[in-house]
A and B are shown apart, each in its own frame.
Chain A
Amino acid sequence: DTGVSQNPRHKITKRGQNVTFRCDPISEHNRLYWYRQTLGQGPEFLTYFQNEAQLEKSRLLSDRFSAERPKGSFSTLEIQRTEQGDSAMYLCASSLTTGGSPLHFGNGTRLTVT
C-alpha cells in the first residue's frame, strides 16, 4: 500500500512567486481532492477531480489557484503570485467513487510565503 504521496513536503517562497505542488493518489482511486488547512483548523475544500475531470472548485478559491489532473492519475496544484495569506498546509486526498467513501490523505505540503 503506497498511500497518497505529496511533494514537496515543505516549500518556502517569496511573495509574488509561483509555486506548484504534486500529488500522487492511490492508484485505484478515481477521486482526488485538494484541501487547505491552517493551524488548528479542519481541512478547507479547494477542488475535486473525478478521473481527469475537475468537477468542483471552491468559490473561496481565487483565480490565482489552478489544479490539473491530466491523465486521471497524479495531480498538480499551482498558486500564482503567492501572497502571505496563502501560507498553509495543502493536503491531497483520494477516494473511491462511492459517495461518502473515506478519504486517504497524503502528509501535505506546508507552504510558507515570506
Chain B
Amino acid sequence: TQLLEQSPQFLSIQEGENLTVYCNSSSVFSSLQWYRQEPGEGPVLLVTVVTGGEVKKLKRLTFQFGDARKDSSLHITAAQPGDTGLYLCAGATFGSNYQLIWGAGTKLIIKP
C-alpha cells in the first residue's frame, strides 16, 4: 500500500512566523502536487514539482521535491492570515497514469 504522510497534521502560529510542512513516502513519484483547500471549497492546485531536487517559489511559498522523488516540503515565509487552510500533497505514481496518492493534509491556522 502506497502512503503519503504529511506532518504536522495541525499547526497554529502567529502572523509573521515561518513554517514548513512535510510530505514523505517510501514510494517514488513521477510528480507531486500541492493543493490548498479552504472550508466549504474544493482543493486548489498550488504547484506541481516534477524533477528530483526541484525548487519552485510562489510568492512567500517555497516548494521542494526531494532528490529521490519520495518527499516534498512546503515552506511559508512570514505567514499571513490569508494562508490559513488545509494543505494537501498528492503524488502521481509511475504505475498509474491517473490515480494520485493523497496525504491526509496539514491544517494551518495563522493568527493575526
Q: How far is the CA of A58 from the CA of B100 in the complex (A)?
A: 13
Q: How many residues of B contact A (CB 8 A)?
A: 27
Whether A100 touches B48, Cβ cut-off 8 Å, given contacts A43-B43, A106-B42, A107-B41, is yes
Give the A-B contact count at a CB cut-off of 8 A. Answer: 65
Mask: chain B, 16-41; 1 = CB below 8 Å from A; 0 = not: 00000000000000110100000011
Task: Give me the 6 closest cross-chain CB pairs, A-B, nearest first.
Answer: A105-B42, A99-B97, A100-B92, A42-B102, A100-B31, A102-B45
Whether A102 touches B48, Cβ cut-off 8 Å, given contacts A55-B98, A107-B42, is yes
Residue of B nearest to A92 (CB): B42
Contacting residues, chain A, for B31 (C-beta < 8 A) = 100
Check B86 for interface membership: any CB of A closer than 8 A: yes
Q: List 30 A-B contacts (CB under 8 A).
A: A4-B42, A40-B107, A41-B105, A42-B88, A42-B90, A42-B102, A42-B104, A45-B99, A45-B100, A45-B102, A50-B98, A55-B98, A56-B99, A91-B43, A98-B97, A99-B97, A100-B30, A100-B31, A100-B33, A100-B50, A100-B92, A102-B45, A102-B48, A103-B33, A103-B43, A103-B90, A103-B100, A104-B45, A105-B44, A108-B40
Identify which of residues 1-25 in chain A touch chain B, using a CB-to-CB cut-off of 8 Å: 4
Which residue from B48, B96, B103 sits with its C-beta under 8 Å from A42?
B103
Excluding A102-B45, A103-B43, 12 further A-B contacts by CB distance (< 8 Å) are A40-B86, A44-B102, A56-B99, A93-B42, A99-B98, A100-B33, A100-B92, A105-B44, A106-B42, A107-B40, A108-B40, A110-B40
Identify which of residues 56-95 in chain A touch chain B, using a CB-to-CB cut-off of 8 Å: 56, 91, 93
Q: How far is the CA of A62 from the CA of B97 in the complex (A)?
A: 24
Q: How far is the CA of A99 from the CA of B100 in the complex (A)?
A: 10
Residue of B nearest to A50 (CB): B98
Q: How far is the CA of A79 from the CA of B97 in the complex (A)?
A: 27
Mask: chain A, 27-43; 1 = CB below 8 Å from B; 0 = not: 00001000000001111
